[in-house]
Amino acid sequence: MMVKPALHSAALLLLLLLSPGTLTADHDFAPIEVIVKSNLLSTPQLSFITSVAPRGILLGALNRLMNSNTDFKFTYREDPNYGPFLESVNGLAGSQEDHTYWEVFVQFPNNTIIATDVGIGCYIPKENEKIILNFTKWWRFSN
Ligand code: B12
Ligand SMILES: *[C@@H]1O[C@H](CO)[C@@H](O)[C@H](O)[C@H]1NC(C)=O
Ligand SMILES: *[C@@H]1O[C@H](CO)[C@@H](O)[C@H](O)[C@H]1NC(C)=O
């Protein structure tokens, strides 16, 4: 019986091809847009396309973007309670002294814009969301 092992591997291959989430995993990455705004310094707005893994975090998408595009760089520091705090984008860093920081917004496909209620290590972007990284001030009106 020379045929049987061949049939077995053919059946196994078919099974692999048909089972979701094994061989197809790479195709499940969802596209998102990342917009970098620093109106405070009146530098032009930048826009990038990247992708996020299934249920992947924003930090992963930003890392993938940085690794694939030399025009996008960022740094973060680790907060003991909340994890990654976005510190700088393209060399521009927030500062305690100036009360500046990178605020993180999401624009949904219906154009509603909200500030995320978690940081880049916790936010899970969905397909076609725009993430807006906005260099801004806190206590904007009292300073
Ligand atoms: C003040 C404050 C800020 C200030 C901190 C600067 C300052 N010097 O005042 C500013 C305005 C910068 C800020 C920013 C953000 N914040 Co804030 N912030 C607070 C707040 C109201 C008090 C923190 C504090 O002063 N604690 C007392 C000091 C003594 O303790 P501390 O450990 O030294 O505090 C530091 C950390 O809290 C850190 N920090 C503040 N916010 C955040 C957010 C993240 C994700 C990280 C990693 C660290 C961090 O900055 C503080 C000063 O150094 C808390 C809510 C609360 N009541 O605690 C929210 C809070 C911590 N922030 C929150 C969020 C979501 C953000 C943003 C992501 C909002 C956004 N969409 O942009 C951004 C961070 C973006 C980025 N660059 O990564 C959430 C975190 C929830 C989570 N699990 O991720 C909280 C809990 C409020 C909420 N929405 O429920 N924040
Ligand atoms: C826009 O989309 C978001 C996310 O799906 C949703 O939470 C929000 O209610 C929507 N807003 C409007 C005005 O449709
Ligand atoms: C971004 O920052 C600018 C400057 O501080 C501010 O006027 C604007 O309201 C912020 N928000 C968004 C979503 O751009």
Q: Domain limits of the chain?
A: 28-137
pTM assigned to the model: 0.89
Q: Which CATH number fits domain 28-137: 2.40.30.10, 2.40.50.140, 2.170.130.30, 3.40.30.10?
A: 2.170.130.30
CA 93 to centroid of ligand 1, rounded, Å: 16
pLDDT attached to residue 31 = 97
pLDDT tens string for the chain (143 positions)? 555 555 556 555 555 555 554 554 556 899 999 999 998 888 899 999 999 999 999 999 999 999 999 999 999 999 999 999 999 999 999 999 999 999 999 999 999 999 999 999 999 999 999 999 999 999 766 54
Q: Is 110 in the pocket of ligand 2 (CB under 6 A)?
A: yes
CA 116 to centroid of ligand 2, rounded, Å: 14
Question: Which ligand 3 atom is at minimum distance from the Cα of 136?
Answer: 5
Question: For residue 44, what are the CA distances in angstroms to 37, 38, 41, 82, 134?
Answer: 7, 8, 9, 30, 12
Q: Which two tokens stand for residue 86?
A: 């976005």
Q: Which two tokens stand for residue 61?
A: 């998408």
pLDDT attached to residue 140 = 61
